[in-house]
Amino acid sequence: PYVVTENCIMCKFQDCVEVCPVDCFYEGENMLVIHPDECIDCGVCEPECPIEAIIPDTDPESDKWLELNRDFSEKWPNITRKGESPPDADEWRDVENKFEKHFS
């Protein structure tokens, strides 16, 4: 599957949601996640994210995010339509270590 990573935190642009053929995105307050068992590995969402927050599980960087995507996709509600991004999303684009600073 593909996974959502740190870049999404506090940005949540949601372009990814609109293209997923199986609607496997789930929405938290500060980021989205992908349900790894529902993702069919089509890869369509990856180029849609303007800040490259989505990566395949073949990427070594995905290891620490896969479990988080799995856990939260079972707790958070499904999202199938793009909603409003946070008003300060652009200010968070290039911030590092967003997970430690602002994850909930």
Summarize as ranges the residues that interact with ligand SF4 (CB under 6 A): 1-2, 19-22, 24, 34, 39-45
Rg (alpha carbons) of the chain, rounded to whole number: 12
**Rule CB under 6 A: is residue 33 a binding residue for ligand F3S?**
no
- Long-range contacts: 42-45, Cβ < 8 Å, 24+? 43/2, 44/19, 44/20, 45/2, 45/16, 45/19, 45/20
Q: Which of 2, 6, 10, 12 binds ligand F3S (CB under 6 A)?
A: 12
> Strand runs (DSSP E) across the chain, as ranges?
2-4, 25-27, 32-34, 54-56
Answer with the entry of ligand SF4, ligand F3S, none that 8 interacts with (C-beta below 5 to 8 A by kind).
ligand F3S
Q: Least distance in Å: CB of 88 to ligand SF4?
A: 26
Q: Which stretch binds ligand F3S (CB under 6 A): 14-22, 36-44, 58-66, 68-76?
A: 14-22
